[in-house]
Chains A and B, each alone.
Chain A
Amino acid sequence: MNNLKRYLALISISGVLACQSGGGAKQEEKVFKLGAVLPLTGPAAAPGNEMNNAVLLAVDEWNSSNKLSGYKVTLDSKDDAADPKQAVSSAHALMSDSLVAAVVAHLNSGCFLPASRIYHENGVAAMSGATTNPEITQQGYPEIFRLCTTDLVQGELTVPYLKEAGYTKIAIIHDKTQYGQGLAQVVKDACPKSGIEVLSFDGINVGDKDFKAILTKIKDQTPDVIYFGGMYDEAGLIVKQMRDLGMTQQFVSDDGAFGQDTIDAGGVATEGAMFTMVGKPLTEMPQVAEFLTKYEKRFGVKVQNYGPYAYDVANILLTAISKVISRIGGVDKAAIVQELKQMEYDGVVGHTAFDEKGDTKNKVITIYRVQEGKFVPLKTMGM
């Protein structure tokens, strides 16, 4: 009886093994994966899910259009929860799967910076549509690309605009993250050139809700404009608590706070606040209308911020992969990286080509003002 059991076990195990190896060999011929590591939960879950949805839209379109020479692509989304530690472990998990041909990478600079090394070590192209910290592409990793302009561009274009608008004394707050503090530092460094006096430069904690102590101190210093480098919830709460404290100064923030969540958190207090966002306004982007309708039809919500960027990132990666497939008949990771280097792509956010560092050559930002609960573009600036 015992022997019989053992034989049966052996037979069934070998059967399973046979199935797996057979199945695996077949799959490798026809399927590859597009990885995505985005904040699907946590403080940046709203824009993270928008980006993930946009990528999903692109992947489905490529599959139904049959432009991948018989290949099918599946999306493998991992969560980084806007947390650098989680980002690194998700990147490792993704890289352990050899089917992953390229990665739509991260929303947060703090996540992409440590994870970029992992993509580099595995030779897999990773492109972000939203991380703006300059350091990311300064590491010299050829696999790292991004579609958004950096904080150097954003910070240095914001300051002259503030000068032009007549502001002379600025108080700067940042959220101590790679992104928020990095951008705030660029703004701080750019101020003397434009003749704006920096009264203070203070950090707050992400997740805190009470900023009245710091704002009371700033109120005492009588600036005429307050700049915040950080993200939605904190931006909304800061502008609201400013108004609660009777502070009437102009509030200016960044692309990380450009979204409905800021207005949800800050309510009517956000009226008149200004925000910078990378690229042109959605209304001036070529071909964007089609994407917006498709997105709204499929997901039932409106695109708020980085959806178009994620959509283009996915399309650029898939275009590069399809070119590699048609050229060499298979998915080769190094060839994909080379293909991206010389890519010229016209997508929903405009014309994209990459410089030697992997940054987009399309260096434009737009400044918006909140009017009646909506972001209204004021001016588009480029360098």
Chain B
Amino acid sequence: MSLSAFFQQLVNGLTLGGMYALVALGYTMVYGIIELINFAHGDIFMLGAFLGLMVLNFLQGWGLPTGFALTAAFGVSMLLTALIGAGIERIAYKPLRHSPRITLLLSAIGVSILIQNIVMLTCSRDLQPFPRAISGGMTIRGVVLEYIQILIASSSLLLMLGLDLLVHKTRIGQAMRAIAQDLEASQMMGINVNQVIRVTFMVGSALAAAGGIMNGLYYGGIKFDMGFLVGIKAFTAAVLGGIGSLRGAMLGGFILGLCETIVVALLSAWGLTRAFDYKDVIAFAILIIVLIFMPSGLLGEHLPEKV
């Protein structure tokens, strides 16, 4: 493998990892608080992308500048998705909060199927082209670095830092950590549990929406079933990093992204001829090995308080 190919694979891996990390943050936040694996999260990601596309197409149809349309698309989509996220929590999860975990999980899978089918039936079954509002990039010694790639990797890092601050430095963050430790005790201490959980879902959903739009911008197309695979991968990233840990989600995302790109490329260069066919096998084998030796994930133990 040439040096430029090596660095190109690094860029590929960091972008892919940033994408996984963005979605993994939402999984880990919700899990941290109510120990629910929110399987609808991948579909909220997809919904955010579709709402963003609608706003973008609408505003560009009016001839507004791309920069403005894009900002508005992010804003409107994140806001609406946050509200939808809160609505889903209210309807599908809150009434089941004291039921067995498995009931909640089934409810989440139900919501996932519901969202997918609504989008498929109301929007389209086909791949929807997404305008490449952020195009261009630079080439450094044969390595192509696109602006959108920088945006994805850096925004996932910034959002992670922002969330970290929110959880550790603010009042509502304190309440989140308290609920994560003991929901009933927090309730007795006068914490408005419903409100805090609602805010958690809203923040997680807004992040997913941002991730969905970036996904559309990067790959140039969105589809009703796009949330499934990303959801599974992001969930894996969250588990790898230690579910419940924000930094772990970030780390897990980047590791998974790098496993699927540079690790596979290195294996292929070292003589494993069909390495690319086994991309997912290799990535998930690494996950299993890590979990055997560190059952609570890479950063799961270092951060005893979840969220």
Interface residues of A (CB under 8 A from B): 41-43, 45-46, 49, 176, 202-205, 207-210, 212-214, 216-217, 219-220, 232-233, 236-237, 240, 244-246, 261, 264-267
Contact = CB atoms under 8 A, between A and B. Distances in A.
Interface stretch (B6-14, B29-37, B235-243, B290-298): B6-14
26 contacts: A41-B120, A49-B125, A202-B276, A203-B277, A204-B276, A205-B280, A207-B225, A209-B215, A209-B226, A210-B12, A210-B219, A213-B9, A213-B279, A217-B1, A217-B9, A217-B269, A220-B1, A220-B2, A220-B5, A233-B221, A233-B223, A237-B221, A244-B146, A261-B126, A261-B127, A265-B221
Interface string B124-143: 01111100100001010000
Contacts of A244: 137, 144, 146
Most buried by A among B9, B128, B229, B277: B277
Contacts of A240: 219-220
B5 A217 contact: yes
**Which 9 pairs, one residue from A and one from B, show the smallest C-beta to C-beta distance?**
A213-B261, A45-B125, A203-B277, A212-B12, A220-B5, A202-B276, A216-B8, A264-B129, A265-B221
Contacts of B225: 42-43, 207
Contacts of A233: 127, 221, 223
A232 to B, nearest CB: 7
A213 B229 contact: no
A321 to B, nearest CB: 31
B274 interface: yes
Contact of B12 (A45, A46, A49, A216): A216
Nearest to A264: B129
Contacts of A212: 8, 12, 15-16, 261
Determine chain A's interface SS by DSSP, over half rule. helix
Given A209-B219, A217-B1, A246-B139, 8 more contacts: A49-B125, A202-B276, A208-B229, A212-B261, A213-B276, A217-B5, A217-B265, A217-B269
A216 B5 contact: yes
Query: Which of B219, B220, B229, B262 has most A Cβ within 10 Å?
Result: B220
A46 B2 CA distance: 41
A236 B221 contact: yes
Contacts, number: 100
B89 interface: no
B43 interface: no
A264 B126 contact: yes
A90 to B, nearest CB: 17
Given A204-B276, A212-B12, A244-B144, A264 B265 contact: no
Given A212-B261, A216-B12, A246-B139, A207 B274 contact: no
Nearest to A266: B220
Interface in B93-138: 120, 125-129, 132, 137
Contacts of A43: 225
A264 B220 CA distance: 9
A202 B146 CA distance: 25
B127 A216 contact: no
A213 B265 contact: yes
Contacts of A205: 279-280
Contacts of A220: 1-2, 5
Contacts of A266: 220
A203 B276 contact: yes
A46 B144 contact: no
A244 B12 CA distance: 11
B270 to A, nearest CB: 12
A213 B6 CA distance: 10
A46 B125 contact: yes
A210 B276 contact: no
Contacts of A208: 229
Contacts of A216: 5, 8-9, 12, 261, 265
Contacts of A213: 9, 12-13, 260-262, 264-265, 276, 279
A46 B215 CA distance: 22
B154 interface: no
B268 interface: yes
A214 B305 CA distance: 40
Contacts of B144: 244-246
